[in-house]
Amino acid sequence: MTAIRTRASLLVRTVVAAGCCLALSSAVVGAALLLVAVPVYAGVRYGVEAFSSPTFVPGTDSSLLVEPVAAALVIAVAITCLVAVELSLRTVRTARERGSPAGALAQGTVELASYVLLLSSLLIALAALPFLRSTLPDPAFALLILLGFFYLVTVSYVWAAHEWLRSRDGVDDERTTGGNWLVLVVFAVGYLSAAVWPGFALLVVAALGWLVFGSILAPDHVDRVRDAVERRAAESAEEEPVDPANVYGFTDEVERIRVRLERTAGPRAAALAAIGALAAAGGSYWAATRIPTETLAVSLAAASALVLVGVYAGGAIRAEFAGDTAVLRDLEDRFDLETLAAGEPAGQVAGGTESGSSAAVDGQRSRTQLESLVTRLAGQADLPTPEIRVPERDTPIALTVGYRPAASTLVLSRGLIETLEERELEAVVAHELAHLKNRDAAVLTALSAPGAVARLSRSRYGYNPVVEPLAAVVRIASCWYVAFVSRGREYAADDGAVAITGDPAGLASALEALDRDLERRPHEDLRERDTAVAFAIVPPPWDEHRFFDRTRRFVTRTIFGTHPSTEKRIDRLRARL
């Protein structure tokens, strides 16, 4: 009866967490669609009105272009700008994955997109004000306006400046000086466009068009401009310029895409692209002569948002099920997560313990020994052997990631390997394999994906005053429902480990040793609290606070705690002896 109640409780927890994850993901996709669609719609409307208005060319009484031609031209320019932003995002992401600095031109374009998103969020807020004003009480509406004004006008720009200065010092960022330098140019052009003449905005549009077509037709010229920007920026900052040979730039990404297209479509790829561009331009003009500008702007905004967000959402889903999970990419971003080379030591085994237990075996565990241990236990559990990854961290981390047992990854930190004796390490590996056998790994990997993607967005693209609050909400919500499910599955994994090894005392001893090791560890070793809490097989020791200690402990251990009390787990295991 108790087992039935436990399974029912786990099922309820999983269903609730899955519902929260689905709702959260849907809300994020909806917000992304709005944030992309609004600036495209506003840009098309503004562009058509500007080109077909007599005031665009000072001193004349006639418009520069008739409305259908203006609409076709603006749509072509908008698509070019969207292609430039998308390729720049790909360039920055690929450079980050390769450990190379991204080119200044790609970085500047990503920064431009960042502040376009800020403008988009302001437009969305202004559009929503009438609805909120009519539904909210006056005090609540006034507080909302105050908070929104404080964040968007003050905090976002102050924090963005702080992040920009940190990036200039090379702190926790891989931006080059030229990319930061171009941010100032974008701000200058934006100010001139708003204060002097709207035609200054064409400078940014022309630069994005040159970036796209120049990378296709004259990549060497684009690279020379990029290198000149980097060199001048480094001179103004009195720094050494980045080595052009180490930079992964916009033209490199365009060339990579061209090569991939030629492999799939053959040499006709360039011709097909040219035909497609001409067809899009002709179709835009034809549509502009028959469809109102408002409808065209809405259609292009919706299509652009669906394509861009769909590409990223589809890519994330495809990567998840291909085994390249967001949780693993997040770990790789934050840790030196490496697969052990053949014969490389897996960790120095610690000496003894202060409680007088038997001393650990001296020497080193090689890859062969570690793989042999994992393979043997996986065979006992009737599971395929997972891939083994070892992050360079002293914090005892042990987790299993993957949707299928055949494509799963077991992560064991060097700190954990060095702390445990052979019998204890065997119990911990069995505990993680039990998670795999119980499908806990698949459930928790899926539930953790939104939070991991939110963390990756900042590490790859830098701080964004609009994306960051949204990502913070996603991370907090993800931590809660992952913890809600995880707490109910730890006891089952402990039981599964005992079923595999037949040694409850070994797992109890491992938990006790890891808990004792964390108590001895200096506080600064646990600065990455989210990692320690989420991935350590035992939670870190609690640091008492002068104020609200009980409340903080309740929030950290009860609401966001991923594991039950270590003492209860040890007592439960020893009761089975």
Phi, psi of 481 (to 5 degrees): -75, -25
What stretches of 102-218 show up as alpha helix (H) in DSSP? Answer: 104-135, 138-149, 156-168, 177-195, 201-217
Indicate if 432 belongs to the active site.
yes
Phi, psi of 332 (to 5 degrees): -65, -35
Give the helix/strand (H/E) hosting 289.
helix 269-290
Helix and strand element counts for the chain (H, E)? 21, 6
| 419: nearest Cα among 527, 509, 289, 549 | 509
Helix, strand or coil for residue 389?
Answer: strand
Positive or negative: CA dihedral 405, 407, 408, 409: positive
Strand partners, 391: 337
Catalytic hit among 432, 468, 490, 512: 432
Residue 518 tokens, joined: 């964390």
| 513: nearest Cα among 388, 412, 390, 425 | 425
10 Å CB burial of residue 146 (0-12, 13-18, 19+) is: exposed
What is the rounded CA–CA span in Å between residue 99 and residue 338?
14
| 457: nearest Cα among 161, 31, 120, 80 | 31
Q: Which residue has the tokens 């995002």?
A: 89
Q: Which residue has the tokens 């890859």?
A: 367
Phi, psi of 502 (to 5 degrees): 65, 25
In eight-state DSSP terms, residue 559 is: I
Distances (CA, A) of 32 to 29, 95, 161: 5, 24, 24
In eight-state DSSP terms, residue 220 is: H
DSSP strand pairing (387-391 vs 409-412): parallel
Give, to the nearest 10 degrees, the angle between helix 104-135 and helix 219-236. 80
What is the rounded CA–CA span in Å between residue 323 and residue 106?
29
Q: Write out the catalytic residue numbers.
A: 432
